[in-house]
Amino acid sequence: MNGLDDLGKIAAAGRQLLAVIDTALSDEQFGNLDKISSAAEIRPSTLRNNFSASSRTFPSERRSAIAGRILVVDDQPENRDVLVKHLERQGHSTAQAEDGPRAIARLSREGFDLVLLDVDMPEMEGYLVLEHMKADPQLLHLPVIMISAIDEIETVVRCIEAGAEDFLPKPFNPTLLRARIDATLEKKFLRDQERNHLHRIEEAQKRLATELQEAARYVVSALPPPMPEPLKISWAYEPSTELGGDSFGYHWIDQDHLAIYLLDVCGHGVGAALLSVAAINVIRSAGLRNTDFLDPGQVLSSLNEAFQMENHNNMFFTIWYGVYDVPTRSIRHSSGGHPPALLLKSDANGTDQLEELRCPGMLVGAMPSVSYKSATTLVPENSRLFVFSDGAYEIGRPDGTRLDFESDFVPYLLRIGRSRNIPEEVLSWVRSVHGSEALADDFSFLAIDFPK
């Protein structure tokens, strides 16, 4: 009988040991187990006394690396109490709800980082609470860990497929609890950072779009109005989605000479737009010293010195500049890296043809001390001059191919060259070829009519 009594005492001590491990022993404390002698080598009273002392002196449960605010939803008070005890030892703040409706009410008015949600609850099952959360945009991204018994595994799988982050089996293991919660909170906080980063990017993009719209309006406000007489000048301008550096103008230098000019800053954005307007204003105001504005080559040479790229954020531009001489019906012109203007005129048989007004030179601002030349072209009666940027013909098609200047753009202009509203027609054609209203580059197109 004494031997049976001793075995009973040993069994009782073993149960006490398991209780200590379940309730008070954390990960760090498992290292103390090798200090405890086996029950067969010590007296039961000594074993009981040793664990009683140990349970009072174990350090607190290991704290989680990431602390969060966690809502515990379970209809069993003892389950909630055990979970809350472990969570608060790990450094989390907690709140409780005893059923689904109360959980939804708390979620609607309070902020949480994680929800521990019991699967089997009498008034509203955990799956229905999860469905409600995933249907709510404010709760959609809030992670949920399902709490389940082993025999509810099919329901757990259903919850995971519906958007639950993970699950915890009953009864709770403190180490597993901490590991699952740490992993879930880490992913949650990383996703929060990513969403915040994306939100900041979206806000920056909105501000940039607003700035581009304001810059586009500023560029348009700086453009001259159409001219009805004595020479009829019409134009179309459409900024790209990123706003390029197109700008143009025309003005009478004196009663016999009309200056016509169009430039395109290489690049996009507000900086390119402001540089183009600055260069146009310099031309319009004759703000270049020791420059004869009747001589296009001299104008481009002076612009090249005034707008060197190293002084303008490494931006340069192309330009076509011409001066129409009324008495001689001729245009003196020069260009710096720009597409040629096209002169529509009729030959002796009355057949229309296009002549390129080309006097090529280097990009303006790319290199100092460049000398630009000028050329002169006679303008017959009833001729029409087209001046444009490369955004009028360097157009990408939906299939990835691009318009060609010689084989696509020039024949098209020759075909519609006498249309009354040709700038708008060209713009509509460019959009149809591109397959979209939004263009990749600024579109600028001028048409100047020279009557008898």
Query: Could you tell me if 54 and 20 are in contact, meaning their C-beta atoms sit under 8 angstroms apart?
Result: yes
Kindly give, in sequence order, each residue whose CB lies less than 8 Å from that of residue 320, ignoring residues fewer than 6 positions away: 261, 262, 263, 333, 334, 335, 338, 339, 340, 341, 357, 387
Asked if residue 70 has pLDDT above 70, the reply is yes
**Is the dihedral angle over the CA atoms 398, 404, 407, 412 positive or is it negative?**
positive
pLDDT band at 150 (very low <50, low <70, confident <90, very high): low
Angle between helices 174-222 and 270-284 (to 10 degrees): 10
pLDDT band at 123 (very low <50, low <70, confident <90, very high): confident
DSSP code of residue 333: E
- pLDDT at res. 41: 40
- pLDDT at res. 43: 40
- pLDDT at res. 31: 40
Residue-level length of the chain:
452
Domains of the chain with CATH codes: 2-57 (no CATH), 69-195 (3.40.50.2300), 212-450 (3.60.40.10)
pLDDT band at 381 (very low <50, low <70, confident <90, very high): very high
Q: What's the whole-number mean pLDDT along residues 275-296? A: 94
- pLDDT at res. 15: 61
What does the mean pLDDT of the chain come to? 86
Asked if residue 95 has pLDDT above 60, the reply is yes
Question: If you compute the radius of gyration of the chain from its CA atoms, what whole number of angstroms results?
Answer: 40
Asked if residue 24 has pLDDT above 60, the reply is no
Record the pTM.
0.61
Highest mean pLDDT of the ranges 12-21, 60-69, 123-132, 370-379: 370-379
- pLDDT at res. 421: 92
| Bridge partner residues of 116 (DSSP) | 72, 145
Q: What's the whole-number mean pLDDT along residues 107-128? A: 92
Query: Among 13-17, 76-80, 124-128, whose mean pLDDT is lowest?
Result: 13-17
pLDDT band at 50 (very low <50, low <70, confident <90, very high): very low
Asked if residue 347 has pLDDT above 90, the reply is no
pLDDT band at 337 (very low <50, low <70, confident <90, very high): very high
Query: Could you tell me if 446 and 226 are in contact, meaning their C-beta atoms sit under 8 angstroms apart?
Result: no
pLDDT band at 33 (very low <50, low <70, confident <90, very high): very low
Q: What's the whole-number mean pLDDT along residues 168-177? A: 84
- pLDDT at res. 26: 45
- pLDDT at res. 244: 78
- pLDDT at res. 10: 63
- pLDDT at res. 130: 94
**Is the dihedral angle over the CA atoms 92, 93, 99, 105 positive or is it negative?**
negative
Query: Among 11-25, 89-103, 170-184, 325-339, whose mean pLDDT is lowest?
Result: 11-25
- pLDDT at res. 171: 83
Cα 337 to chain centroid distance, Å, stands at 33
The amino acid sitting at 158 is R
Angle between helices 44-57 and 2-24 (to 10 degrees): 10
Instruction: Report CA-CA distances (Å) from 235 to 118, 249, 386, 424, 445.
Output: 70, 10, 10, 8, 6
pLDDT band at 7 (very low <50, low <70, confident <90, very high): low
- pLDDT at res. 274: 87
Q: What's the whole-number mean pLDDT along residues 93-116? A: 95
